[in-house]
Amino acid sequence: MAIKTIGFIGLGLIGGSLAKAIRRVHPDMKLIGYNRSKSSLVAAMEDGTLNQAQDTINESFASCDMIFLCAPVSVNIRCLEQLRQVIRKDCILTDVGSVKTTIHEAVEELGLDDQFVGGHPMAGSERFGYANANDRLLENAYFILTPGKQTPEWMLSEYEKLVASIDSIPVVLNYREHDRVTAAISHLPHVIAYTLVNLVQRSDNPDGAMKMLAAGGFKDITRIASSSPEMWQQICDENREALAEILCRYREALADMEQAIRERNDQFLLEEFESARVYRDDMPQKFRGSLPKEYRIRVDVEDEPGAIAVITCILSAYNISIQNMGIMNNRESQDGVLHILLKDEASANKAEEILRKRNYTVYRG
C-alpha cells in the first residue's frame, strides 16, 4: 500500500481500536496520535500502538498519508480547519462518525472535498475510551466508505485496501444514502429502545412488577438502551432529517398494527409477522453490527445445592471459558434459567452439545 504514516485525531473506543488493528496487521507503519486526554496518549505509547504522541495538532501531521478523525463531529470539523494548514494535498482525510452529511458539507465548505472519504465502521460497544479499545473490534464488521464528489479514485482504492487488511468489509455508499440507511437500521432502533424502556418505567406499578418480571424478549430488544445517552443525543441531532422521516413511517406502521389489533384483523397480523420473520431470518449473521454479538446459552437448572457448580465444572473439564453468567429470577419459557456468556460461537456450540448429552435442557440466545 502507498499508505505508510497514519494520524489519529482522537483515541477513544473506535479510534483506539482502529489504531491497534492497524498496528497488529502493519507493524512497520508509523502511527501519530492526538487526543485531548493525555492518559490515552500515554497508554497508546506504552502499549506500542503509537510511534508518536502529540498534545496539539501541528506540523507533525504534515508527514501523514492518511488521517482518521475520531472525535465527535463538531470537534472533527474544528480539527479539519487546523489540519488544512499543515497537511499535504495527497493526504487522505477520513472520519469514523455514524452520520456523514454534516461532515461532508463541512469538508466542501473548507475546500477539502478532493481528499476526503467519509468512513463509518459499523461496530462498537456499550463501553467507551481507549482503555476498552480492542484490535479485533472491527473484525468482520462492515466499514462504510462515503467518497466526496471530487475524491480521486486512487484514494478510495487505498482506503479500501487498508480496511480489508484489518479484516473489515468495505462498502461504498453515497453519504446521503448512508444517513438514510443508518437512520433506519441503527438510529431508529436506539430511539425505540430508549422510548420503550421509558414507557415501561412510566407504566409500572409502585411495586415495580414490570421491572421485576422483564424477561428475555424485553431485555433483548432494549439492550442497546444501555449505550451512551450523550452520544445518541448528538446522533439524533446530526441525522435529524432522515431520522424524523423514518420515525414518521414507523409511527404509521404502529398505527396500522394498533388498528389491526383493535379490529381483530388476524390475517393482517399474521402476514406482517410472517413477512418480518422471513426478512429477519434472511439477514446475514456472520457480520457484527453496532454492538458486538453475544454468544449465550441458557440452561434449565434444578433448585438444589451445587447445581450451578456441576455445570461450570463440566464446561471447565472441556476447556470452555465462561465470560459471564447469571441466574434469572423470571422464567419466561423454562422452569429456572442459568444464563452463560461465552467468548465465541464455537464455544457456545460446544457447550450446548456437551450439556445436552448430559440431559440438560439448553436454549440458545
Dump pLDDT digits (tens) for 88-139.
Answer: 999 999 999 989 999 999 999 999 999 999 999 988 765 678 888 889 889 8
Output the tens digit of pLDDT for each of the chain's 365 residues.
Answer: 789 999 999 998 999 999 999 999 999 999 999 998 899 999 999 999 999 999 899 999 999 999 999 988 888 989 999 999 999 999 999 999 989 999 999 999 999 999 999 999 988 765 678 888 889 889 888 999 999 889 999 999 999 999 999 999 999 999 999 999 999 999 999 999 999 999 999 999 998 999 988 877 788 888 888 887 888 898 899 999 999 999 999 999 999 999 999 999 999 999 999 999 988 888 765 555 544 566 888 888 877 788 899 999 999 999 998 888 877 644 444 446 788 988 888 999 999 999 999 989 888 76
Q: Quick one: cell of 93?
A: 482525510
Residue 189: per-residue pLDDT = 93
| Residue 223 to residues 165, 201, 320, Cα–Cα distance (Å) | 31, 15, 25
Distance CA 188, CA 182 (A): 8
Residue 234: per-residue pLDDT = 87
Dump pLDDT digits (tens) for 323-344.
Answer: 888 776 444 444 467 889 888 8
Q: What is the DSSP string of 15-79?
A: HHHHHHHHHHH-TTSEEEEE-SSHHHHHHHHHTTS-SEEESS--GGGGG-SEEEE-S-HHHHHHH
Mean pLDDT score across all residues of the chain: 89
Residue 289: per-residue pLDDT = 52
Residue 334: per-residue pLDDT = 42
Residue 332: per-residue pLDDT = 41
To which residue does cell 478523525 refer?
69
Which pTM does this prediction carry? 0.73
Residue 305: per-residue pLDDT = 84
Contact present, 145 and 170 (Cβ < 8 Å): yes
